[in-house]
Amino acid sequence: MRVLIAEDQVLLRTGIARLLTDAGMDVVAQAGDAEDLLRKVRAHRPDVAIVDVQMPPDRTDDGLRAAVAIRAELPGVAVLVLSQFLEERYALELVGDDPRGVGYLLKDRVIDVDAFAAAVRRVARGGSALDPEVVARMVGRRRDDDPLRALTPREREVLALMAQGSSNRGIAEALGVGAAAVEKHSTRIFHKLGLGAEPNEHRRVLAVLTFLRAR
């Protein structure tokens, strides 16, 4: 797996590169600002770009804007954005209309090396990885016209874990239930959201989008 890392803090960038190299990934390039990131992504076409939200030249959301541009210009490149702060709008802007091949994690998640490496691989394979804190905040909100209102509390839990990128096996382990129970919950979620006619994997994508847009 070919990885590009864009982070202006040199120690953190080299640390992430070492972690991912030790995990068996090929770090093909590193960038310290948003403009360099775009140049190197176009040149190397990595499987996944790991991008800091706040980067030079403006040190605001330059990295996020570059990540959104990469998704639009090079859809074959997955993007995993790291943020120092919890900003739901960053996650929503990054996901756009398709949560496949995209991730948004707080930088603290890098400390859990195995989980971080798993998130990188999942995003590179076309999955998603949304930070649990972002999902938890979204779950805690309600709207009068909430499209998820028909879901039971357990079904909301299952859908929230889907939004984090968990597989059915991961959801089963997190909730302490069997895989068959997760399958039943998933089927009910798809039915209640009117997603019965789509292939299973596509239904998961559409269900996650419904979840995100409901917040």
Quick one: pLDDT at residue 42? Answer: 97
pTM of the model: 0.76
For residue 18, the model assigns a pLDDT of: 95
CB 12 within 8 A of CB 34: no
Q: What is the pLDDT of residue 36?
A: 96
| Fold entry, domain 2-130 | Rossmann fold (3.40.50)
Dihedral sign from CA coordinates of 172, 211, 110, 47: positive
Domain 139-213: top CATH class: mainly alpha
Question: How far is it, in rounded angstroms, from Cα 116 to Cα 81?
Answer: 12
Phi-psi region of 126 (alpha: psi -120 to 50; beta: other; left: phi over 0): left
Structure tokens at 199: 């292939």
User: Angle of helix 88-95 relative to helix 200-213, nearest 10 degrees?
Assistant: 140
Q: What is the pLDDT of residue 143?
A: 54
Contact 212, 144 (CB under 8 A): no
Instruction: Output the pLDDT for position 85.
Output: 81
Residue 148 carries which side chain, given as an amino acid letter? Answer: L
Domain ranges for the chain: 2-130, 139-213
In tens digits, what is the pLDDT along the chain, a chain of 215 residues? 999 999 999 999 999 999 999 999 999 999 999 999 999 999 999 999 999 999 998 888 999 999 999 999 999 999 999 998 877 778 778 887 788 899 999 998 899 999 999 999 999 999 888 888 877 766 555 555 677 888 898 998 898 888 888 889 989 998 999 989 999 999 999 888 888 766 666 788 778 878 777 65
Residue 84 has what pLDDT?
87
Alpha helices in 26-87 (DSSP H): 34-44, 62-73
- According to the model, what pLDDT value does residue 175 have? 92
Give the H or E element holding residue 83: strand 78-83
